[in-house]
Structure 1
């Protein structure tokens, strides 16, 4: 097992080296320039669209724009927001939080572009449901089916890691440490709950996440706001530490500034998934009149995930100073930080938040994985095999080594990202075209609304 851990660690380090980090961030910067910093200019509009049902009631698709967003958020708001942020701080120092923000800023443009292409090139499957995502825009847009097949293979496998094993492992661990329940018992309960939700397909998942995600996010954000409000004088110093250590050689373990950048970006991508190509699979199922409208909604996912929820975790850790305690493991750090401010109630906040976050991630990634599997194997009867294997992995993840699962997830994330990023760069012209369409449409709607008011 130790030899396997070392081997996978070396593979992960190679894949998440400078070339891939440049490709991920570079793609985001390139797309940001091509769409004219749209993620900043139209963020207020995008946030308004999140709760609008005006344009998705009669449009083609399986679920509402809001359900598509919450399904994608369910898949992204998970252990990455609690354990992932703590891992970035442990391995890269507080400065890693800055690099999470940095990658997220440009990741919003990446997520926007992914959603545009997902809706533009989506198709109907044998059951009349929408199917879309990188495998479809790589095949039908870029005309490179081999890349589409590679993405689908990596995506179907990655679902067992990033969207399953890491999540169930974290839940089982925190439940044991907080409530004293054996990991196998948590594994059984979580496995049964997962089976009940995912066997109903995307509509069942969408209905559950539409309730699950807002509740869990508000609960965690409220706890973070209480910490911030009661310790408001410590906030400026925390931000100063983050910015200072983002560029300081002492920012990271081993005195290497590269570690802060590497783990900040890698854990940021793990959390918000911008560039991986996972979220556009959910976006493709949305009812929307224009690809750009759903893309704006999808873009807010990165903002909500990283700039709000991850920031709550990261800033709380830095404010507490608990990151200086080298005896604390990453999965213990966030609990210790909240416990520093909220006393005995702190670990319960983290435990409850993690249970909700990780469970919802499993639901979202079950859909991603099966859509990739469905692309590879057209026979609908084989889908039940994948679902059963996915459900069983929930239990396995609850009782195996955390380090092994995290390393495996990093590897599969990288393998997913590479073909997807190639597709985004190659199809950026279509993104620009669809951006112009949605901007013209928004202007037209704004003028019509003004005219209606004046009557």
Structure 2
């Protein structure tokens, strides 16, 4: 009966109902219009803010660490396997629609991150914490809705998603090197323990070193492959654009498949609107000291995840001749494409990339769950120990378990999180627009934007002493 309920809910959210795709698309268009196309008009400003983003305080991690932490969770198997799924089911045109949803998702990511930073709180240790539960409670005064979001997040990011990612790693190592899944699971637990014992700061320090190395290495490999096949690039780009609009012989059916799979995979990959990234945004000591600066930084995260890393995978596959097959293909398609370019070592490279990408997600997921302990007054030593034991236990279980039913429950938790978060951020549009205009105005005058309580009209009120 539980399985039937989960299946019915997921069918409405992700399946035939397509509720989440409609909500996320609508949300991206809404904030693109309400914020005046901020992701296009201020595209260069995202990169400008990185120059002063490495300074942290005793209350908050640096903006760069917050970006890397959010990328740790975002960048996962979806960047390698998800792109292959989109191409195998939707053809090359799916990549175009993945780009479109990323462009719209940048505005959504901006909006939710601004709120995460504005309504942040200090935990028992005097460190910044926040996320959708906090802006729902403080901005909308809907404690029951905030608790509902936190419970979904605890179940999804705190426990189940880490189990699923651990399962991906152990499967990859077992298939490539015949390493028993239990041994791999124990190794993951030991490594994760060393990192998460340092709390959010330990995770942020890990992320700021590993994520750039991981991302740059993967993109460099994709660029080398692209230059090796430079003569094929114009044909690949032509194929992406024409397939995206059904201009090839397959017609309307191919157009629908391209749109559906491109949008769906893009949404899964960049997480814009799901409510996960505001936790990282809230933990930062922003530079300049204004909530909107974190909107720009996390908007950049959507761009890097989808427009850069997913595009890298797409070119690796398409330059190897990958196309729509009508059958769902995943990581095997990416491995086969890489092997076609660089030989047998391609499979090992992709396996290593999966392990890196999935492990960073395991670690970042801990941070998102831990950020919600304050909501339940559990941000103390005992609460953190209990949470950590549960988190590590789920990793071990996920390493050796068969997970199709758990995946379904995780999808349901993520789907419900996203519904709650989108309703909340659209409801809080007046606050987002007000505080964004404050930043835009100060920046246009050549001032260094700084925010103080009372500068803008906001819904509810932020915690006293934060601003």
SS class of match (2:124) = coil
Moved more, 79-88 or 89-98: 89-98
Q: 1:451 corresponds to which residue?
A: none
CA 1:19–1:324 in structure 2 vs 1: closer, same or farther (change >3 Å)? closer
Q: 1:19-34, aligned counterparts within 5 Å?
A: 19-34=19-34
Contact 2:91 2:254 in 1 (8 A): no
Deviation, 1:109, is: 0.6
Matched with 1:298 is 298
More deviation in 182-191 or 358-367? 182-191
Choose 243-252 or 181-190, whichever is displaced more: 243-252
After TM superposition, list the pairs within 5 Å mapping 1:98-247 onto structure 2: 98-160=96-158, 163-247=161-245
Return the offset for 1:161: 6.6
Give the match for residue 453 of structure 1. Answer: none
Question: 2-side partners of 1:319 and 1:94: how far apart?
Answer: 11
Return the alpha-carbon distance in structure 1 between the equivalents of residues 441 and 109 of structure 2: 21
> Which ranges of structure 1 fall in alignment gaps of 5 or more residues?
449-455
Answer with 9-18 or 281-290: which moved more: 9-18
Residue in structure 2 matched with residue 84 of structure 1 by the alignment: 82
Q: Per the alignment, in what secondary structure is the counterpart of residue 52 of structure 2? A: coil
> Is structure 2 residue 434 aligned with structure 1 residue 433?
yes
Question: Aligned partners of 2:394, 2:186: CA distance in 1, in Å?
Answer: 11
Match of 2:456 in 1: none
Secondary structure of the equivalent of 1:51? helix
2:176 counterpart SS class = helix
Q: Residues 239 and 394 from structure 1, CA distance in 2 versus in 1: closer, same or farther, beyond 3 angstroms?
A: farther
Task: Please state if 1:353 is matched with 2:357.
Answer: no
Q: 1:330 to 1:249 in 2, by over 3 A?
A: farther
Deviations 1:188-241 (A, max 9, x none): 111111111112101101111010110000110111111111111222222333
Alignment of 1:1-40 (within 5 A): 8-16=6-14, 17-40=17-40
Report 1:377-392 matches (<5 A): 377-378=377-378, 380=380, 381-392=382-393
**What is the deviation of 1:38?**
0.7
1:334-389 deviation digits (Å, cap 9, x = unpaired): 11111111112211221221111111111111110122344235362223222211
CA contact 1:110–1:274 (8 Å) conserved in 2: yes
Secondary structure in 1 matching 2:372 = helix
Using the size of structure 2 for normalisation, the TM-score is: 0.87
The gaps in structure 2 that reach 5 residues or longer are 450-467
Alpha-carbon contact 1:251-1:260 (below 8 Å) kept: no
Structure 1 residues 207 and 156, CA gap change in structure 2 (3 angstroms): same
Residues 43-88 of structure 1 show CA distances to partners (whole Å, capped at 9, x for unaligned) of: 211112123248x556x84100100111111111111111222223
Alignment of 1:281-320 (within 5 A): 281-288=279-286, 289-320=289-320
CA distance in 1, matches of 2:432, 2:354: 35
Instruction: State the Cα distance separating 1:131 from its structure 2 match.
Output: 1.7
- Kept after mapping to 2: 8 A contact 1:322/1:336: no
Cα distance per residue 1:128-168 (max 9 Å; x no partner): 12121100111111222222111111111111577413322
Higher relative helix content:
1
Q: Partner of 2:409 in structure 1?
A: 408
2:265 corresponds to: 267
- The answer as to whether partners of 1:132 and 1:284 remain within 8 angstroms in 2 is yes
Q: Secondary structure at the match of 1:286?
A: coil
Instruction: Give the TM-score normalised by the residue count of structure 1.
Output: 0.90
Structure 1's 148 and 327: CA in aligned 2 closer, same or farther, altered over 3 A? closer
Q: CA deviation at 1:4?
A: 8.2
Once the 2 structures are TM-superposed, how far is the Cα of residue 19 of structure 1 from its aligned partner?
A: 2.6
Q: How many equivalent pairs are there? A: 443
Superposed CA RMSD in Å reads 2.7
- 1:296 is displaced (CA, Å) by 0.7
Task: Report the CA distance shift for 1:324/1:298 in structure 2 as closer, same or farther (over 3 A).
Answer: closer
CA distance in 2, matches of 1:85, 1:69: 22
CA distance 1:49–1:83, shift in 2 (3 Å): same
In the aligned structure 2, how far is the partner of 1:399 from the partner of 1:244?
A: 44
Is residue 375 from structure 1 mapped to residue 387 from structure 2 by the alignment?
Answer: no
SS in 2 for 1:159: helix
Between the aligned partners of 1:351 and 1:430, the Cα distance in structure 2 is 44
The answer to whether the 8 Å contact 1:323/1:333 transfers is no
Distance, in Å, in 1 between the alignment partners of 2:28 and 2:307 is 16
Cα distance in structure 1, aligned partners of 2:202 and 2:323: 40
**Counterparts in 2 of 1:102 and 1:74: CA distance versus 1, 3 Å:** same
